[in-house]
Amino acid sequence: METNATYTSFVAVGDSFTEGMSDRLPDGSYRGWADLLAGRMAARTPGFRYANLAVRGKLIGQIVADQVGVAAAMQPDLITLVGGLNDTLRPKCDMGRVRGLLEEAVERLAPSCKQLLLMRSPGRQGPVLERFRPRMEELFACVDDLAARHGALVVDLYGAPSLADPRMWDMDRLHLTAEGHRRVAEAVWQTLGHEAHDAEWRTPMPTSAPPGWVSRRNADVRFARQYLLPWIGRRLTGRSSGDGRPAKRPELLPFDEPMA
């Protein structure tokens, strides 16, 4: 493990969380924590290169099949791997298989980079988290074990009070807002050993009056119509939101976008 190192290249591997949903830019594309992190690194390292192989909706098996080998072949200084959470949210989930695939990914990625970084993903407060909490915690225990065995860093977002706040989550209740992604980028930045830009990223936002009953019910209706029912439809038909979608930044190229 090497912290406060100078990284000249970074490859991000994962699903919608790493793709950047729902940190939407004016042109309709997504930014997200990985792009923000790459911007910071590029600002301090001339010639810095970045690839983001993440695709929304991908299960850990798809990540291993489609992204892990590509990332390993790039031989970057830093690789981030976040995956498996989509699997835990499926009604039928073989956690033994998920753990095995995650172990395969780590065993292939760790030797191919200077530093591998894993995450304990954030969880929004609410009944969905409570239902799937045992699976999520089993996944995170596996992450901790693999990190200890392979010298990877772990960013604990699951234990951050700020990211459990529903206000950090978009209307779909599955993806972080721009502020949530900013805090994740800060968490990774500090885990890599860099001086904090925001030492209070874990601190929750100030409390505010909860929305009224009518507002909550209207939000529930919008959520069900725009997100829940389409999600159920994809599950029933075996489709994914990422079907046919290419990687966000498939090549390890210089990062010349302005730092956010």
Each residue of 48-101: pLDDT tens digit? 999 999 999 999 999 999 999 999 999 999 999 999 999 998 888 999 999 999
Helices 178-191 and 33-44 cross at an angle (nearest 10°) of 50
- Tell me the pTM: 0.86
| 3-class state of residue 74 by DSSP | helix
Query: Does residue 258 carry a pLDDT above 50?
Result: no
| Residue 223 is assigned to a structural domain of this protein | no
Q: What is the pLDDT of residue 9?
A: 98
Q: How far apart are CA 188 and CA 175, in angstroms?
A: 18
Q: What is the pLDDT of residue 235?
A: 55
Q: How many domains does the chain have?
A: 1
Query: Does residue 42 carry a pLDDT above 90?
Result: yes
| Residue 230 is assigned to a structural domain of this protein | no
| Residue 62 is assigned to a structural domain of this protein | yes
At residue 248's C-alpha, the angle toward residues 180 and 35, to 5°, is 40
Domain span at 98: 9-205+248-254
| Residue 240 is assigned to a structural domain of this protein | no
CATH number of the domain at 193, please: 3.40.50.1110
Q: How confident is the model at residue 207 (pLDDT cuts 50, 70, 90)?
A: confident
| Residue 106 is assigned to a structural domain of this protein | yes
Q: What is the pLDDT of residue 96?
A: 97
Q: 82 - beta bridge partners? A: 14
| Residue 167 is assigned to a structural domain of this protein | yes
**C-alpha 243: how far from chain center:** 19
| Residue 76 is assigned to a structural domain of this protein | yes
| Residue 124 is assigned to a structural domain of this protein | yes
